[in-house]
């Protein structure tokens, strides 16, 4: 039945694999039936994640590997909050005519960003790794070729997706990667 529904060769994201591993019925409902819960009016987890990812990507790209750790966590927090405001203006129509719930949720995201940015700064300052790239696409036309896993039925699973942040560290001619 699975081969009829999904085909012999599957291309899935790490999130989809994790979903299947946690609950095959949930995977079937989401990826097979395409059944999704009714959307809510507030900023949902996916939108929160999109905002946080966009802010962190812009922050890392702006301050990059060598200079990111040269700034105080207060400076980086302020920059992250400013980038969140810029995201709201550019992608969500700004703050004008928004509800107090919307503003509260954006402020909650900013508080989360404070914690994340402070953690990232500490992590990078205590490590030889340097942040070098964000949002690397992992597919046959992206930045990284997907890994193919052979199946016992002769098919394959290709893992595709996006690497949030790539850090590198070089020592004795060997480059180490951390994702």
pLDDT digits (tens, 9 = 90+) for 35-69: 876 544 468 889 999 999 999 988 888 876 556 67
Task: Please choose, from the candidates 138, 142, 118, 121, the residue with its C-alpha nearest in 3D space to the C-alpha of residue 130.
Answer: 121
Residue 56, exposed/middle/buried by CB under 10 A (0-12, 13-18, 19+)? Answer: buried
Q: Which residue has the tokens 């404070």?
A: 114
Q: Which residue from 12, 125, 112 is spatially nearest to 53, judged by alpha carbons? A: 112
Tens of pLDDT, residues 88-104: 999 998 988 888 889 99
Q: Is the pTM of this model over 0.75?
A: no
The 130-138 sheet, strands edge to edge:
130-138, 161-171, 174-178
């Amino acid at each position: 039945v699975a081969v009829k529904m999904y085909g012999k060769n599957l291309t899935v994201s790490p999130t989809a694999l994790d979903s299947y591993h946690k609950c095959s019925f949930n995977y079937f409902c989401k990826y097979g039936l395409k059944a999704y819960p009714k959307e809510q009016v507030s900023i949902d987890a996916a939108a929160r994640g999109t905002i946080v990812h966009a802010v962190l990507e812009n922050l890392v790209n702006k301050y990059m590997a060598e200079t990111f750790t040269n700034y105080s966590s207060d400076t980086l927090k302020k920059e992250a909050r400013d980038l969140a405001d810029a995201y709201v203006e550019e992608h969500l129509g700004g703050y004008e005519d928004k509800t107090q719930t919307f503003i509260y949720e954006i402020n909650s995201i900013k508080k989360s960003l404070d914690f994340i940015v402070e953690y990232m700064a500490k992590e990078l300052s205590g490590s030889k790794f340097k942040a070098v790239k964000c949002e690397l696409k992992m597919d046959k036309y992206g930045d990284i070729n997907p890994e193919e896993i052979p199946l016992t039925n002769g098919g394959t699973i290709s893992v595709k997706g996006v690497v949030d942040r790539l850090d590198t560290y070089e020592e004795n001619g060997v480059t180490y990667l951390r994702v």
